[in-house]
Protein backbone atom coordinates (compact mmCIF):
# COMPACT_ATOMS: atom_id res chain seq x y z
CA UNK A 1 0.00 0.00 0.00
CA UNK A 2 1.40 3.43 -0.90
CA UNK A 3 1.73 6.41 1.46
CA UNK A 4 -1.47 8.12 0.26
CA UNK A 5 -3.51 4.97 0.86
CA UNK A 6 -1.98 4.59 4.34
CA UNK A 7 -2.88 8.20 5.19
CA UNK A 8 -6.48 7.71 4.00
CA UNK A 9 -6.86 4.52 6.05
CA UNK A 10 -5.50 6.24 9.19
CA UNK A 11 -7.85 9.22 8.73
CA UNK A 12 -10.81 6.88 8.28
CA UNK A 13 -9.94 5.15 11.54
CA UNK A 14 -9.68 8.45 13.43
CA UNK A 15 -12.44 10.59 11.90
CA UNK A 16 -14.61 8.39 9.73
CA UNK A 17 -15.68 8.66 6.09
CA UNK A 18 -16.79 12.33 6.32
CA UNK A 19 -13.19 13.56 6.42
CA UNK A 20 -12.32 11.34 3.47
CA UNK A 21 -15.25 12.79 1.50
CA UNK A 22 -14.18 16.37 2.30
CA UNK A 23 -10.58 15.66 1.25
CA UNK A 24 -11.75 13.97 -1.95
CA UNK A 25 -13.92 16.97 -2.84
CA UNK A 26 -11.01 19.30 -2.09
CA UNK A 27 -8.68 17.29 -4.33
CA UNK A 28 -11.31 17.29 -7.10
CA UNK A 29 -11.73 21.04 -6.74
CA UNK A 30 -7.97 21.63 -7.01
CA UNK A 31 -7.70 19.29 -10.01
CA UNK A 32 -10.67 20.93 -11.74
CA UNK A 33 -9.24 24.37 -11.06
CA UNK A 34 -5.88 23.38 -12.53
CA UNK A 35 -7.60 21.90 -15.59
CA UNK A 36 -9.65 25.08 -16.08
CA UNK A 37 -6.52 27.22 -15.84
CA UNK A 38 -4.72 24.99 -18.36
CA UNK A 39 -7.63 25.18 -20.78
CA UNK A 40 -7.69 28.96 -20.45
CA UNK A 41 -3.96 29.10 -21.19
CA UNK A 42 -4.48 26.92 -24.29
CA UNK A 43 -7.42 29.04 -25.50
CA UNK A 44 -5.31 32.18 -25.16
CA UNK A 45 -2.40 30.54 -26.96
CA UNK A 46 -4.67 29.32 -29.79
CA UNK A 47 -6.03 32.86 -30.25
CA UNK A 48 -2.48 34.27 -30.47
CA UNK A 49 -1.44 31.49 -32.84
CA UNK A 50 -4.44 32.14 -35.09
CA UNK A 51 -3.50 35.82 -35.17
CA UNK A 52 -0.08 34.80 -36.57
CA UNK A 53 -1.73 33.26 -39.68
CA UNK A 54 1.62 32.56 -41.43
CA UNK A 55 4.61 30.49 -40.40
CA UNK A 56 7.68 28.71 -41.79
CA UNK A 57 8.02 24.92 -41.85
CA UNK A 58 11.57 23.56 -42.23
CA UNK A 59 12.38 19.98 -43.29
CA UNK A 60 16.11 19.34 -43.06
CA UNK A 61 18.72 16.71 -42.34
CA UNK A 62 21.61 14.72 -43.85
CA UNK A 63 19.31 13.53 -46.66
CA UNK A 64 19.77 16.97 -48.25
CA UNK A 65 23.19 15.70 -49.39
CA UNK A 66 21.34 13.51 -51.90
CA UNK A 67 18.42 15.80 -52.70
CA UNK A 68 15.85 13.04 -52.10
CA UNK A 69 12.82 13.11 -49.82
CA UNK A 70 13.39 13.04 -46.09
CA UNK A 71 12.51 9.71 -44.48
CA UNK A 72 10.62 8.31 -47.46
CA UNK A 73 13.67 7.81 -49.70
CA UNK A 74 15.35 5.57 -47.09
CA UNK A 75 15.35 2.11 -48.62
CA UNK A 76 13.51 3.40 -51.69
CA UNK A 77 15.68 5.86 -53.63
CA UNK A 78 18.87 4.68 -51.93
CA UNK A 79 19.92 1.69 -49.83
CA UNK A 80 19.19 1.92 -46.11
CA UNK A 81 22.86 1.58 -45.18
CA UNK A 82 23.82 4.46 -47.46
CA UNK A 83 21.00 6.65 -46.11
CA UNK A 84 21.88 5.91 -42.49
CA UNK A 85 25.53 6.86 -43.01
CA UNK A 86 24.89 10.22 -44.68
CA UNK A 87 25.24 11.95 -41.29
CA UNK A 88 28.96 11.16 -41.31
CA UNK A 89 29.31 13.61 -44.26
CA UNK A 90 26.80 16.20 -43.06
CA UNK A 91 28.65 19.48 -42.45
CA UNK A 92 26.37 22.48 -43.17
CA UNK A 93 29.10 25.07 -42.62
CA UNK A 94 26.96 27.95 -43.94
CA UNK A 95 24.15 27.40 -41.42
CA UNK A 96 23.27 30.67 -39.70
CA UNK A 97 20.26 30.52 -37.39
CA UNK A 98 19.97 34.32 -37.29
CA UNK A 99 19.86 34.43 -41.09
CA UNK A 100 17.09 31.82 -41.25
CA UNK A 101 14.99 33.74 -38.74
CA UNK A 102 15.64 37.04 -40.56
CA UNK A 103 14.43 35.44 -43.81
CA UNK A 104 11.26 34.19 -42.10
CA UNK A 105 10.57 37.66 -40.68
CA UNK A 106 11.22 39.29 -44.06
CA UNK A 107 8.57 36.94 -45.50
CA UNK A 108 6.04 38.14 -42.93
CA UNK A 109 6.12 34.82 -41.06
CA UNK A 110 5.35 34.91 -37.34
CA UNK A 111 6.62 31.50 -36.24
CA UNK A 112 8.94 28.67 -37.29
CA UNK A 113 8.48 24.89 -36.95
CA UNK A 114 11.59 22.73 -37.50
CA UNK A 115 11.83 18.96 -37.96
CA UNK A 116 13.60 17.81 -34.81
CA UNK A 117 13.29 14.14 -35.87
CA UNK A 118 11.63 12.82 -39.03
CA UNK A 119 10.64 9.24 -39.84
CA UNK A 120 14.31 8.45 -40.53
CA UNK A 121 15.13 8.87 -36.83
CA UNK A 122 17.95 11.41 -37.22
CA UNK A 123 17.92 14.08 -34.49
CA UNK A 124 18.91 17.71 -35.03
CA UNK A 125 19.72 18.33 -31.37
CA UNK A 126 22.14 17.14 -28.70
CA UNK A 127 19.96 14.29 -27.45
CA UNK A 128 21.24 11.96 -24.75
CA UNK A 129 19.12 9.03 -25.87
CA UNK A 130 20.67 8.15 -29.27
CA UNK A 131 24.01 8.65 -30.97
CA UNK A 132 22.19 9.20 -34.26
CA UNK A 133 22.21 12.98 -33.90
CA UNK A 134 23.78 16.21 -35.11
CA UNK A 135 26.58 16.17 -32.51
CA UNK A 136 28.09 13.09 -34.16
CA UNK A 137 28.31 14.73 -37.58
CA UNK A 138 31.34 16.74 -38.73
CA UNK A 139 29.27 19.84 -37.91
CA UNK A 140 28.95 19.07 -34.16
CA UNK A 141 26.59 21.98 -33.40
CA UNK A 142 23.13 21.83 -31.85
CA UNK A 143 20.85 23.15 -34.61
CA UNK A 144 17.75 23.38 -32.41
CA UNK A 145 19.60 25.24 -29.66
CA UNK A 146 20.86 27.88 -32.10
CA UNK A 147 17.55 28.29 -33.91
CA UNK A 148 15.54 28.51 -30.66
CA UNK A 149 17.90 31.23 -29.40
CA UNK A 150 17.70 33.15 -32.68
CA UNK A 151 13.88 33.06 -32.62
CA UNK A 152 13.88 34.39 -29.08
CA UNK A 153 16.31 37.20 -29.96
CA UNK A 154 14.26 38.29 -32.97
CA UNK A 155 10.84 37.90 -31.36
CA UNK A 156 9.40 35.10 -33.46
CA UNK A 157 7.58 31.97 -32.25
CA UNK A 158 9.39 28.62 -32.24
CA UNK A 159 7.92 25.12 -32.49
CA UNK A 160 9.16 21.63 -33.25
CA UNK A 161 8.05 18.79 -35.50
CA UNK A 162 8.58 15.30 -34.06
CA UNK A 163 7.81 12.03 -35.85
CA UNK A 164 6.19 9.34 -33.73
CA UNK A 165 7.13 6.78 -36.38
CA UNK A 166 10.85 5.97 -36.39
CA UNK A 167 11.89 3.54 -39.13
CA UNK A 168 15.51 3.66 -37.89
CA UNK A 169 15.04 2.85 -34.19
CA UNK A 170 15.29 -0.92 -33.43
CA UNK A 171 12.41 -0.87 -30.93
CA UNK A 172 9.90 0.75 -33.30
CA UNK A 173 8.09 -2.15 -35.02
CA UNK A 174 8.10 -0.90 -38.64
CA UNK A 175 10.98 0.02 -40.93
CA UNK A 176 11.88 1.37 -44.34
CA UNK A 177 10.91 1.75 -47.07
CA UNK A 178 7.90 3.74 -45.94
CA UNK A 179 7.05 1.59 -42.92
CA UNK A 180 6.45 -1.44 -45.15
CA UNK A 181 8.86 -3.79 -43.34
CA UNK A 182 8.75 -5.27 -39.84
CA UNK A 183 11.68 -5.42 -37.46
CA UNK A 184 12.80 -8.67 -35.86
CA UNK A 185 12.62 -7.78 -32.15
CA UNK A 186 10.61 -4.60 -31.60
CA UNK A 187 9.51 -3.35 -28.21
CA UNK A 188 6.89 -0.60 -28.46
CA UNK A 189 6.76 0.05 -24.72
CA UNK A 190 10.51 0.61 -24.65
CA UNK A 191 10.28 2.81 -27.76
CA UNK A 192 7.52 4.84 -26.11
CA UNK A 193 9.87 5.48 -23.18
CA UNK A 194 12.53 6.66 -25.66
CA UNK A 195 9.98 8.96 -27.30
CA UNK A 196 8.81 10.55 -24.04
CA UNK A 197 12.40 11.00 -22.87
CA UNK A 198 13.15 12.94 -26.05
CA UNK A 199 9.98 15.03 -25.79
CA UNK A 200 10.96 15.98 -22.22
CA UNK A 201 14.42 16.95 -23.52
CA UNK A 202 12.95 19.16 -26.23
CA UNK A 203 10.44 21.00 -24.06
CA UNK A 204 12.68 21.48 -21.05
CA UNK A 205 15.84 22.19 -23.04
CA UNK A 206 14.52 24.38 -25.86
CA UNK A 207 11.13 25.67 -24.72
CA UNK A 208 8.81 27.27 -24.19
CA UNK A 209 7.52 26.08 -27.56
CA UNK A 210 4.61 27.47 -29.55
CA UNK A 211 3.69 23.95 -30.65
CA UNK A 212 4.74 20.34 -30.85
CA UNK A 213 3.88 19.20 -34.37
CA UNK A 214 3.59 15.41 -34.32
CA UNK A 215 3.52 13.15 -37.38
CA UNK A 216 3.75 9.43 -38.20
CA UNK A 217 0.77 8.52 -36.04
CA UNK A 218 -1.05 6.64 -38.81
CA UNK A 219 0.92 3.42 -38.37
CA UNK A 220 -0.59 0.52 -36.42
CA UNK A 221 1.81 0.56 -33.41
CA UNK A 222 0.46 3.96 -32.31
CA UNK A 223 -2.87 3.79 -30.46
CA UNK A 224 -5.57 6.14 -29.19
CA UNK A 225 -4.39 5.48 -25.65
CA UNK A 226 -0.74 6.23 -26.39
CA UNK A 227 -1.77 9.47 -28.13
CA UNK A 228 -3.90 10.63 -25.19
CA UNK A 229 -1.14 9.77 -22.74
CA UNK A 230 1.46 11.60 -24.81
CA UNK A 231 -0.70 14.72 -25.06
CA UNK A 232 -1.22 14.74 -21.28
CA UNK A 233 2.52 14.21 -20.76
CA UNK A 234 3.31 17.19 -22.99
CA UNK A 235 0.79 19.46 -21.27
CA UNK A 236 2.18 18.58 -17.85
CA UNK A 237 5.60 19.74 -19.06
CA UNK A 238 4.25 22.95 -20.66
CA UNK A 239 0.56 23.70 -19.95
CA UNK A 240 0.12 26.36 -22.65
CA UNK A 241 1.75 24.45 -25.52
CA UNK A 242 -0.29 23.70 -28.65
CA UNK A 243 -0.37 20.11 -29.91
CA UNK A 244 -1.56 19.19 -33.40
CA UNK A 245 -4.14 16.49 -34.17
CA UNK A 246 -1.47 14.01 -35.31
CA UNK A 247 -0.76 13.15 -31.69
CA UNK A 248 -3.95 11.03 -31.80
CA UNK A 249 -5.62 8.71 -34.30
CA UNK A 250 -8.55 10.74 -35.63
CA UNK A 251 -6.91 12.38 -38.67
CA UNK A 252 -8.59 11.66 -42.01
CA UNK A 253 -5.60 11.18 -44.32
CA UNK A 254 -3.84 14.17 -45.84
CA UNK A 255 -7.08 16.15 -45.66
CA UNK A 256 -5.92 16.51 -42.06
CA UNK A 257 -9.35 17.07 -40.52
CA UNK A 258 -10.63 15.42 -37.36
CA UNK A 259 -13.43 15.82 -34.87
CA UNK A 260 -12.58 17.08 -31.40
CA UNK A 261 -13.22 13.78 -29.60
CA UNK A 262 -11.43 11.66 -27.03
CA UNK A 263 -9.72 10.02 -30.01
CA UNK A 264 -8.21 13.36 -30.96
CA UNK A 265 -6.68 15.18 -28.01
CA UNK A 266 -4.91 17.68 -30.29
CA UNK A 267 -5.70 21.39 -30.58
CA UNK A 268 -5.75 21.92 -34.35
CA UNK A 269 -6.09 20.09 -37.66
CA UNK A 270 -3.35 19.74 -40.28
CA UNK A 271 -4.40 19.62 -43.95
CA UNK A 272 -1.33 18.58 -45.95
CA UNK A 273 -0.44 20.02 -49.37
CA UNK A 274 -3.92 21.51 -49.64
CA UNK A 275 -5.91 24.45 -48.35
CA UNK A 276 -8.24 23.50 -45.53
CA UNK A 277 -11.97 24.06 -45.76
CA UNK A 278 -13.45 26.98 -43.87
CA UNK A 279 -14.07 26.06 -40.25
CA UNK A 280 -14.91 28.56 -37.54
CA UNK A 281 -15.19 26.00 -34.73
CA UNK A 282 -12.02 23.95 -35.17
CA UNK A 283 -8.58 25.61 -35.60
CA UNK A 284 -6.51 24.38 -38.54
CA UNK A 285 -3.22 24.94 -40.30
CA UNK A 286 -2.35 23.88 -43.84
CA UNK A 287 1.23 22.70 -44.37
CA UNK A 288 2.30 23.26 -47.98
CA UNK A 289 5.70 23.19 -49.69
CA UNK A 290 7.14 26.23 -51.50
CA UNK A 291 8.47 23.76 -54.10
CA UNK A 292 7.26 20.18 -54.56
CA UNK A 293 9.47 18.18 -52.19
CA UNK A 294 9.61 18.70 -48.42
CA UNK A 295 13.39 18.31 -48.21
CA UNK A 296 15.74 20.17 -50.54
CA UNK A 297 15.89 18.96 -54.13
CA UNK A 298 18.08 20.47 -56.86
CA UNK A 299 16.04 22.49 -59.37
CA UNK A 300 12.78 21.60 -57.67
CA UNK A 301 9.81 23.37 -59.23
CA UNK A 302 8.94 26.43 -57.15
CA UNK A 303 5.49 27.93 -56.72
CA UNK A 304 4.84 31.34 -58.24
CA UNK A 305 4.30 34.46 -56.16
CA UNK A 306 0.63 34.36 -57.12
CA UNK A 307 0.25 30.76 -55.96
CA UNK A 308 1.90 31.55 -52.63
CA UNK A 309 -0.12 34.69 -51.94
CA UNK A 310 -3.43 33.17 -52.95
CA UNK A 311 -2.70 30.22 -50.68
CA UNK A 312 -2.11 32.57 -47.74
CA UNK A 313 -5.29 34.47 -48.57
CA UNK A 314 -7.42 31.34 -48.94
CA UNK A 315 -6.13 29.96 -45.66
CA UNK A 316 -6.90 33.19 -43.79
CA UNK A 317 -10.27 33.37 -45.54
CA UNK A 318 -11.03 29.87 -44.28
CA UNK A 319 -10.06 30.93 -40.72
CA UNK A 320 -6.88 28.85 -40.90
CA UNK A 321 -3.10 29.28 -40.79
CA UNK A 322 -0.47 28.46 -43.41
CA UNK A 323 2.81 26.74 -42.61
CA UNK A 324 4.88 27.21 -45.78
CA UNK A 325 7.76 24.75 -46.03
CA UNK A 326 11.33 25.34 -47.17
CA UNK A 327 14.07 22.72 -47.43
CA UNK A 328 17.56 24.12 -46.74
CA UNK A 329 20.53 22.93 -48.80
CA UNK A 330 23.24 20.57 -47.47
CA UNK A 331 25.41 23.66 -46.97
CA UNK A 332 22.87 25.02 -44.48
CA UNK A 333 21.36 27.80 -46.60
CA UNK A 334 17.85 28.50 -47.77
CA UNK A 335 18.09 28.60 -51.55
CA UNK A 336 18.55 32.16 -52.89
CA UNK A 337 15.60 31.81 -55.29
CA UNK A 338 13.40 30.70 -52.39
CA UNK A 339 14.64 33.63 -50.33
CA UNK A 340 13.69 35.96 -53.18
CA UNK A 341 10.19 34.46 -53.33
CA UNK A 342 9.79 34.72 -49.56
CA UNK A 343 10.81 38.38 -49.58
CA UNK A 344 8.30 39.04 -52.39
CA UNK A 345 5.61 37.53 -50.17
CA UNK A 346 6.78 39.71 -47.30
CA UNK A 347 6.66 42.79 -49.50
CA UNK A 348 2.99 42.16 -50.29
CA UNK A 349 2.18 41.43 -46.64
CA UNK A 350 3.91 44.62 -45.52
CA UNK A 351 1.25 46.50 -47.51
CA UNK A 352 -1.80 44.28 -47.10
CA UNK A 353 -0.97 42.32 -43.93
CA UNK A 354 -3.70 44.15 -42.02
CA UNK A 355 -6.19 42.12 -44.09
CA UNK A 356 -4.54 38.83 -43.00
CA UNK A 357 -2.97 39.05 -39.53
CA UNK A 358 -5.35 39.08 -36.57
CA UNK A 359 -8.42 38.63 -38.76
CA UNK A 360 -11.18 36.02 -38.83
CA UNK A 361 -12.25 34.08 -41.89
CA UNK A 362 -15.54 35.06 -43.54
CA UNK A 363 -18.27 36.06 -43.61
CA UNK A 364 -18.20 35.13 -47.31
CA UNK A 365 -16.93 31.60 -47.90
CA UNK A 366 -13.73 31.25 -49.95
CA UNK A 367 -14.07 30.10 -53.54
CA UNK A 368 -12.66 30.59 -56.99
CA UNK A 369 -13.85 34.19 -56.77
CA UNK A 370 -11.43 34.83 -53.86
CA UNK A 371 -11.80 35.04 -50.08
CA UNK A 372 -12.85 37.38 -47.29
CA UNK A 373 -11.57 38.20 -43.83
CA UNK A 374 -12.85 40.57 -41.18
CA UNK A 375 -11.83 42.46 -38.08
CA UNK A 376 -14.24 44.63 -36.11
CA UNK A 377 -16.52 46.47 -38.53
CA UNK A 378 -14.20 45.96 -41.52
CA UNK A 379 -14.61 43.18 -44.11
CA UNK A 380 -11.72 42.64 -46.52
CA UNK A 381 -12.47 41.13 -49.92
CA UNK A 382 -9.62 39.49 -51.81
CA UNK A 383 -10.99 39.21 -55.34
CA UNK A 384 -9.20 36.81 -57.68
CA UNK A 385 -11.82 36.91 -60.43
CA UNK A 386 -14.18 39.74 -61.20
CA UNK A 387 -17.06 38.65 -63.50
CA UNK A 388 -17.99 41.04 -66.31
CA UNK A 389 -21.27 41.90 -64.62
CA UNK A 390 -19.61 42.38 -61.24
CA UNK A 391 -19.11 40.16 -58.21
CA UNK A 392 -22.42 39.17 -56.67
CA UNK A 393 -22.36 38.75 -52.90
CA UNK A 394 -25.20 37.65 -50.61
CA UNK A 395 -26.90 40.29 -48.51
CA UNK A 396 -25.55 40.58 -44.97
CA UNK A 397 -27.42 41.79 -41.85
CA UNK A 398 -25.54 45.08 -41.82
CA UNK A 399 -25.37 48.28 -43.83
CA UNK A 400 -22.24 48.85 -45.90
CA UNK A 401 -21.25 52.42 -45.02
CA UNK A 402 -18.30 52.74 -47.40
CA UNK A 403 -16.05 50.76 -49.71
CA UNK A 404 -12.43 51.30 -50.68
CA UNK A 405 -10.10 49.69 -53.24
CA UNK A 406 -6.92 49.15 -51.18
CA UNK A 407 -4.93 48.12 -54.25
CA UNK A 408 -5.73 51.42 -55.97
CA UNK A 409 -8.41 52.67 -58.30
CA UNK A 410 -12.16 52.85 -58.12
CA UNK A 411 -14.83 50.42 -57.01
CA UNK A 412 -18.58 50.53 -57.69
CA UNK A 413 -21.17 49.14 -55.34
CA UNK A 414 -24.88 48.41 -55.81
CA UNK A 415 -26.92 47.21 -52.84
CA UNK A 416 -30.11 45.32 -53.78
CA UNK A 417 -32.69 43.45 -51.73
CA UNK A 418 -31.40 39.97 -52.56
CA UNK A 419 -27.73 40.64 -53.35
CA UNK A 420 -24.88 43.14 -53.43
CA UNK A 421 -23.02 43.72 -56.68
CA UNK A 422 -19.43 44.96 -56.60
CA UNK A 423 -17.47 45.87 -59.70
CA UNK A 424 -13.99 47.20 -60.41
CA UNK A 425 -12.91 48.56 -63.81
CA UNK A 426 -10.57 46.21 -65.68
CA UNK A 427 -7.67 48.67 -65.51
CA UNK A 428 -7.85 48.62 -61.71
CA UNK A 429 -7.95 44.82 -61.29
CA UNK A 430 -4.81 43.18 -59.93
CA UNK A 431 -3.44 39.96 -61.40
CA UNK A 432 -3.10 38.21 -58.03
CA UNK A 433 -5.70 39.80 -55.76
CA UNK A 434 -7.71 43.00 -55.85
CA UNK A 435 -8.18 43.97 -52.20
CA UNK A 436 -11.35 45.80 -51.20
CA UNK A 437 -12.29 47.14 -47.77
CA UNK A 438 -15.94 47.26 -46.69
CA UNK A 439 -16.86 49.34 -43.64
CA UNK A 440 -20.06 48.27 -41.88
CA UNK A 441 -22.36 50.05 -39.47
CA UNK A 442 -21.82 47.21 -36.97
CA UNK A 443 -19.25 44.64 -35.92
CA UNK A 444 -18.92 41.76 -38.37
CA UNK A 445 -18.77 39.19 -35.56
CA UNK A 446 -21.93 37.12 -35.48
CA UNK A 447 -22.61 37.31 -39.22
CA UNK A 448 -23.19 33.75 -40.42
CA UNK A 449 -21.02 32.25 -43.14
CA UNK A 450 -22.43 32.88 -46.61
CA UNK A 451 -21.92 31.14 -49.94
CA UNK A 452 -20.82 33.20 -52.93
CA UNK A 453 -22.27 32.13 -56.27
CA UNK A 454 -19.54 30.46 -58.35
CA UNK A 455 -21.02 29.83 -61.77
CA UNK A 456 -19.01 29.10 -64.89
CA UNK A 457 -19.88 31.53 -67.67
CA UNK A 458 -19.96 30.58 -71.35
CA UNK A 459 -17.20 31.56 -73.78
CA UNK A 460 -17.88 34.02 -76.64
CA UNK A 461 -18.57 31.11 -79.03
CA UNK A 462 -21.19 29.66 -76.67
CA UNK A 463 -19.04 26.80 -75.41
CA UNK A 464 -18.80 26.09 -71.68
CA UNK A 465 -15.28 25.45 -70.34
CA UNK A 466 -15.08 23.99 -66.83
CA UNK A 467 -11.49 24.21 -65.61
CA UNK A 468 -9.89 22.47 -62.64
CA UNK A 469 -9.40 25.68 -60.68
CA UNK A 470 -13.13 26.46 -60.94
CA UNK A 471 -14.28 23.06 -59.65
CA UNK A 472 -15.74 22.26 -56.28
CA UNK A 473 -14.07 19.11 -54.98
CA UNK A 474 -16.32 16.96 -52.81
CA UNK A 475 -14.20 14.50 -50.82
CA UNK A 476 -10.98 14.04 -48.92
CA UNK A 477 -8.17 13.21 -51.37
CA UNK A 478 -8.68 14.84 -54.77
CA UNK A 479 -7.19 18.33 -54.95
CA UNK A 480 -6.52 21.20 -57.31
CA UNK A 481 -2.84 21.49 -58.19
CA UNK A 482 -0.59 22.88 -60.92
CA UNK A 483 2.10 20.21 -61.19
CA UNK A 484 2.16 19.81 -64.98
CA UNK A 485 3.32 22.83 -66.99
CA UNK A 486 1.84 25.07 -64.32
CA UNK A 487 -1.69 24.39 -65.63
CA UNK A 488 -4.38 23.71 -62.99
CA UNK A 489 -5.54 20.11 -62.74
CA UNK A 490 -7.42 17.90 -60.31
CA UNK A 491 -4.98 15.30 -59.08
CA UNK A 492 -4.26 12.93 -56.19
CA UNK A 493 -7.70 11.45 -56.84
CA UNK A 494 -7.09 8.31 -54.81
CA UNK A 495 -10.52 7.91 -53.19
CA UNK A 496 -13.24 6.64 -55.55
CA UNK A 497 -15.84 8.39 -53.39
CA UNK A 498 -14.48 11.85 -54.25
CA UNK A 499 -16.50 13.85 -56.78
CA UNK A 500 -15.93 17.03 -58.76
CA UNK A 501 -18.64 19.54 -59.62
CA UNK A 502 -19.19 22.79 -61.50
CA UNK A 503 -22.24 25.06 -61.62
CA UNK A 504 -22.56 26.42 -65.17
CA UNK A 505 -24.70 29.18 -66.59
CA UNK A 506 -26.33 27.74 -69.71
CA UNK A 507 -26.24 30.42 -72.47
CA UNK A 508 -28.75 28.72 -74.79
CA UNK A 509 -30.77 25.53 -75.02
CA UNK A 510 -29.80 22.68 -77.33
CA UNK A 511 -27.40 19.79 -77.73
CA UNK A 512 -23.76 19.92 -76.62
CA UNK A 513 -20.82 17.61 -77.27
CA UNK A 514 -18.86 16.92 -74.09
CA UNK A 515 -15.06 16.55 -73.98
CA UNK A 516 -12.61 15.90 -71.14
CA UNK A 517 -8.87 16.66 -70.91
CA UNK A 518 -7.46 13.70 -68.97
CA UNK A 519 -4.18 12.04 -68.03
CA UNK A 520 -3.74 8.63 -66.40
CA UNK A 521 -0.54 6.74 -65.69
CA UNK A 522 -0.35 3.03 -66.50
CA UNK A 523 -0.41 2.19 -62.78
CA UNK A 524 -4.04 3.39 -62.71
CA UNK A 525 -5.31 1.89 -65.97
CA UNK A 526 -8.94 0.82 -66.12
CA UNK A 527 -10.62 3.68 -64.29
CA UNK A 528 -14.13 4.73 -65.30
CA UNK A 529 -16.36 7.72 -64.50
CA UNK A 530 -19.83 9.08 -65.03
CA UNK A 531 -20.62 12.68 -66.06
CA UNK A 532 -24.02 13.76 -64.78
CA UNK A 533 -25.86 16.89 -65.98
CA UNK A 534 -29.54 17.79 -66.34
CA UNK A 535 -30.66 14.28 -65.26
CA UNK A 536 -28.49 12.75 -67.99
CA UNK A 537 -25.54 10.45 -67.30
CA UNK A 538 -22.64 9.78 -69.66
CA UNK A 539 -20.40 6.78 -68.89
CA UNK A 540 -16.76 6.97 -69.96
CA UNK A 541 -13.52 4.99 -69.75
CA UNK A 542 -10.39 6.81 -68.61
CA UNK A 543 -7.70 6.41 -71.30
CA UNK A 544 -4.19 5.40 -70.27
CA UNK A 545 -1.57 8.01 -71.22
CA UNK A 546 2.24 8.05 -71.06
CA UNK A 547 2.21 9.58 -67.58
CA UNK A 548 0.38 11.91 -65.24
CA UNK A 549 1.50 14.96 -67.22
CA UNK A 550 0.65 13.49 -70.65
CA UNK A 551 -2.83 14.82 -71.37
CA UNK A 552 -5.28 13.73 -74.03
CA UNK A 553 -8.74 15.05 -74.92
CA UNK A 554 -11.52 12.48 -75.22
CA UNK A 555 -15.14 12.79 -76.26
CA UNK A 556 -17.36 11.76 -73.38
CA UNK A 557 -20.67 11.98 -75.22
CA UNK A 558 -23.57 14.33 -76.00
CA UNK A 559 -26.11 16.00 -73.68
CA UNK A 560 -29.16 18.20 -74.10
CA UNK A 561 -29.45 21.36 -72.02
CA UNK A 562 -33.12 22.29 -72.11
CA UNK A 563 -33.16 25.36 -69.88
CA UNK A 564 -31.25 28.66 -69.87
CA UNK A 565 -30.44 28.40 -66.20
CA UNK A 566 -27.73 27.26 -63.81
CA UNK A 567 -26.93 23.55 -64.12
CA UNK A 568 -24.64 21.28 -62.09
CA UNK A 569 -22.06 19.16 -63.94
CA UNK A 570 -20.75 16.36 -61.71
CA UNK A 571 -17.95 13.85 -62.31
CA UNK A 572 -18.53 10.62 -60.36
CA UNK A 573 -15.86 7.87 -60.47
CA UNK A 574 -17.33 4.40 -61.00
CA UNK A 575 -14.15 2.26 -61.13
CA UNK A 576 -10.61 2.69 -59.75
CA UNK A 577 -8.57 -0.52 -60.04
CA UNK A 578 -5.23 1.30 -59.68
CA UNK A 579 -3.64 4.04 -57.57
CA UNK A 580 -5.87 6.94 -58.66
CA UNK A 581 -8.92 7.67 -60.78
CA UNK A 582 -7.24 10.14 -63.17
CA UNK A 583 -5.93 13.67 -63.43
CA UNK A 584 -8.54 16.02 -64.87
CA UNK A 585 -7.68 19.37 -66.44
CA UNK A 586 -11.05 20.48 -67.84
CA UNK A 587 -14.50 19.54 -69.12
CA UNK A 588 -15.67 21.29 -72.30
CA UNK A 589 -19.24 21.50 -73.60
CA UNK A 590 -19.47 22.62 -77.25
CA UNK A 591 -22.86 23.55 -78.81
CA UNK A 592 -23.70 21.64 -81.98
CA UNK A 593 -24.78 24.73 -83.93
- Annotate 217-257 with DSSP letters as a single string: TTSTT--HHHHHHHHHHHHHH-TT-EEBGGGSS---GGG--
- Best CA proximity match to 272, nearest among 207, 223, 217: 217
Same fold, 361-440 and 455-591: no
* Structural domain spans, the chain: 3-32, 53-357, 361-440, 455-591
Choosing among 3.40.50.1360, 3.40.50.300, 3.50.50.60, 2.60.40.1180, the CATH entry for 361-440 is: 2.60.40.1180
* CB contact set of 236 (below 8 Å; sequence gap of 6+): none
pTM score: 0.82
* Confidence at residue 488, expressed as pLDDT on a 0 to 100 scale: 86
Q: pLDDT 10s per residue in the chain (593 long)?
A: 344 444 444 434 545 555 555 555 655 555 455 556 666 777 898 999 999 999 999 999 999 999 999 999 999 999 999 999 999 999 999 999 999 999 999 999 999 999 999 999 999 999 999 999 999 999 999 999 999 999 999 999 999 999 999 999 999 999 999 999 999 999 999 999 999 999 999 999 999 999 999 999 999 999 999 999 999 999 999 999 999 999 998 887 777 777 656 667 799 999 998 899 899 999 999 999 999 999 999 999 999 999 999 999 999 999 999 999 999 999 999 999 999 999 999 999 999 999 999 999 999 999 888 999 999 999 999 999 887 778 989 999 999 999 999 999 999 988 877 888 999 998 999 999 999 999 999 999 999 999 887 788 888 788 999 999 889 899 988 988 877 877 889 999 999 999 999 999 898 899 999 999 999 999 999 999 999 998 899 999 999 999 999 999 999 999 999 888 889 999 999 999 999 999 999 999 999 97
Secondary structure (3-state) at 276: coil
CA distances from 72 to 119, 226, 502 (A): 8, 24, 36
Cβ 587 vs Cβ 533: under 8 Å: no
Strand partners, 149: none
As a whole number of Å, the CA-based R_g of the chain is 27
Cβ 370 vs Cβ 385: under 8 Å: yes
**Residue 455 Ramachandran class (φ > 0 left, ψ -120 to 50 alpha, else beta):** beta
- Best CA proximity match to 70, nearest among 173, 174, 165, 4: 165
Query: Number of helices (H) and strands (E), helices first, in the chain?
Result: 9, 29
Asked: is 53-357 a CATH 3.10.310.30 domain? The reply is: no
* Confidence at residue 27, expressed as pLDDT on a 0 to 100 scale: 55
* Confidence at residue 35, expressed as pLDDT on a 0 to 100 scale: 53
Q: Within 10 Å of residue 151's Cβ, how many Cβ atoms? A: 24
CATH superfamily ID and name for 455-591: Galactose-binding domain-like (2.60.120.260)
Amino acid sequence: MNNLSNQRARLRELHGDKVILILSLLMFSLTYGQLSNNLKLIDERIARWQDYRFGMFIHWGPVSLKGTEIGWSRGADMPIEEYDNLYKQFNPAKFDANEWVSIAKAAGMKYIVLTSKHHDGFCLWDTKFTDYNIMNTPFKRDIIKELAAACKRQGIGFGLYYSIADWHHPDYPFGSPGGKTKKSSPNMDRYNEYLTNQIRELIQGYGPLVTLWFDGEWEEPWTYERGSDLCEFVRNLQPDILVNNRVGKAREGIAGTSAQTDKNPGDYDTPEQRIGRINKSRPWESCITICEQWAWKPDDKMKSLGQCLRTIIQCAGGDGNLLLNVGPTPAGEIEPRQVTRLKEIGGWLSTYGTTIYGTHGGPFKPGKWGASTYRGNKIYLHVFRMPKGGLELPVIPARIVSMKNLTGGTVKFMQKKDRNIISVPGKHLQSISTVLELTLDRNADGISLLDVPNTVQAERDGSIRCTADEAEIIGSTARAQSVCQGIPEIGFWTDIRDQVQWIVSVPKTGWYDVYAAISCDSNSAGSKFSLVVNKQSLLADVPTTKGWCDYTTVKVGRVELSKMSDEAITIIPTAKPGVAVMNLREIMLKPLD
